[in-house]
Structures are given as structure tokens and as C-alpha cells.
Amino acid sequence: MMISLSDTELSGFSRLMFDAAGITLAPSKKALVEGRLSKRLHALGLDSFTAYLQHLHTNVGERQQAIDLLTTNETYFFREPRHFAYLSEQIVPAVDPSRALRVWSAACSSGEEPYSMAMVLAERMGQRPWEIVASDISTRILEQARRAIYPMERAEKIPQPYLKAFCLKGTGTQVGSFTLQPAIRDRVRFQEVNLNTTLPDNGQFDLIVLRNVMIYFDADTKRAVCRRLLDVLRPGGHLFIGHSESLNGLDLPLQTVQPAVYRKP
């Protein structure tokens, strides 16, 4: 039997997600919350979402599982191609050859974004050093990213030269899927990071990518997250956000280069 989610219970989950991740669950997300969490009620033998909320306040592991389930993880390879063109044509040629180019994919989901950037850098950087850090708040999605096994249809957006050079078609039990060459997989370091808390000490970056995440944040949360990111962005470094997002009105020390591309002076 399907258990219904009340408006009051939705408000409770919204508070939990805001406190944990800065994410606001709008009333329009009611069906999504109900659908994604109902299986956890059944698994735990609970008869209401109120009982599940109470359980989350005392069980850290289950709270992480609820956050995982409520975090939207839509992504695909080479999403927003203009960003990858900018990385290849503008950022790579300008980097100081005496040090490593460092990139942070700050909400990497199941890994398509950082692996796409790794393919670009593997092609364009030659023997020059580079590294990619990729993070997400969801432990479940990070495990998927580390496995790096994707259905074959997810390869549709990967340019053919990259597909041939850096991807491996599955065989045997993996027929119908593909993965990345170890030379690409091993260059991406994944870690769990909550952007709404103190960031781990990962050094300074030339490029930070935070795309299609801030649509879930209110203005104050956006400003706070961006200021944390800017603290670890090198002067002259770039910030990419989603094309449906904007930093207008946030009073941040950034120059707009083109839509969804910003530069720290």
C-alpha cells in the first residue's frame, strides 16, 4: 500500500535537506519525495513519513541514504559542449606550463562530467601535468562514478575520436556497456564533499565546475557556496555554472566571460 506524504511532512524533509545540503525542496517536488522515499519506509517497516523523519534524526546512516535518494543526479557526457570547447581552446593554452593544471568538478554526480574533462585534458595537455578532483554529497552516486561503467547509449554524446581513444566496449557479462581506459579513470580523484560546510584542503584550482546545482539553492546559499569556491580558485581561474543558472545580484568578485563562464580577476 502506498503511504501518502503530507504537506507538513514535506516541509520536514525540506528542512532536513536544507540543513544538510542547502537544497530547497519546492512543493512541486512532493511526488518525487514520496516516490523516492516510500521504499525506505517499507524496508524499515514504518507506517508514516513522520515516523521516517523521526528515524532520520537519530540514524546518521539512514539520513545519508535519504539525502542520496533525494539528490537529483541528471548528467551526461559532454553536457554543455561550449564549456569543453572553452576548456580546450582558452584555458589549456593559457595555463602556466611549469605547474599542473588543476580542475575541480564540484558536483560530479555519476562521473560523466569529470571523465569528459579528463578526455579533453588527456588529448590537449600532452606531457604537461594535470589533475582532476571530483566531488559530490551523495556517497551512492560516488560509488557509481568510481565504477565508471555506463550503458552504451550514454556514449552517444562522446566525440568519436575520444570514444575510440579513451573508451572500452564491454564484453561477456558487460555487453551493452562501456567504461573508460584506466589512463582516464585513474586521473580523476573522487571524494565526498558537502559544499555547505567548510571545504576540505585540496589546494587551489584553475577551473571549478559547479553546473546545474545552484538552481536548488536560495540566494544566500548560492552566495555562501560561491564564496567558499572562490577561496580555492586561483586568481585568473575560471568558474563554470549551468546555462540555466545565474550569479546576478550576488555581489561576487567575478568577471563574466560568456554565459555561464566566469573569471576571478
For the segment 71-123, what is each residue's pLDDT rounded down to a tens digit? 766 789 999 999 999 999 999 999 998 999 999 999 999 999 999 999 999 99
> DSSP readout, 186-221?
TTEEEEE--TTSPPP----EEEEEE-S-GGGS-HHH
Q: Which residue is catalytic, options 68, 79, 136, 206?
A: 136
For the segment 217-241, what is each residue's pLDDT rounded down to a tens digit? 888 999 999 999 999 999 999 999 9
pLDDT at 72: 65
Long-range contacts of 11-15 (CB under 8 A, 24+ apart): 12/49, 12/50, 12/53, 13/37, 13/49, 13/53, 13/66, 13/70
Q: Which domain holds residue 173?
A: 81-263
Give the whole-number percent of the chain exceeding pLDDT 90.
61
pLDDT over threshold 70, residue 249: yes
Domain shared by 248 and 128, yes or no: yes
pLDDT at 124: 96
Residue 105 belongs to domain with CATH number: 3.40.50.150
Distance of CA 161 to the CA centre of its chain: 25
* φ and ψ at residue 43, rounded to 5 degrees: -65, -35
Domain shared by 40 and 97, yes or no: no
Domain shared by 89 and 20, yes or no: no
- Report which of 96, 78, 91, 122 is spatially closest to residue 261, judged by C-alpha positions: 91
pLDDT over threshold 80, residue 174: yes
pLDDT at 66: 87
Q: Is residue 30 part of a domain?
A: yes
Residues 114 and 164: their CA atoms lie apart, in Å, by 18
Q: Is residue 35 part of a domain?
A: yes
Residues 109 and 174: their CA atoms lie apart, in Å, by 22
pLDDT at 244: 85
Give the whole-number percent of the chain exceeding pLDDT 70.
99
**Greater pLDDT, 17 or 258:** 258
Domain-terminating residue out of 46, 70, 94: 70
User: Has 231 been annotated as catalytic?
Assistant: no
pLDDT at 80: 92
User: Has 36 been annotated as catalytic?
Assistant: yes
- Report which of 138, 147, 9 is spatially closest to residue 63, judged by C-alpha positions: 138
pLDDT over threshold 70, residue 1: no
pLDDT at 138: 87
Q: How many CB atoms lie within 10 A of CB 8?
A: 10
pLDDT at 73: 64
Looking at residue 55, its amino acid is H
pLDDT (average), residues 115-137: 96
Band of pLDDT at residue 20, cut at 50, 70 and 90:
confident
pLDDT at 83: 96
Greatest mean pLDDT among 4-8, 193-197, 212-216 lies in 193-197
pLDDT at 108: 95
Residue 33 belongs to domain with CATH number: 1.10.155.10
Residues 227 and 249: their CA atoms lie apart, in Å, by 14
> DSSP readout, 69-95?
HHS-----TT-SHHHHHHIIIIIHHHS
Domain count, the chain: 2
Domain-terminating residue out of 26, 43, 70: 70
Q: Which residue is catalytic, options 36, 140, 154, 223?
A: 36
Domain shared by 228 and 153, yes or no: yes
pLDDT at 153: 93
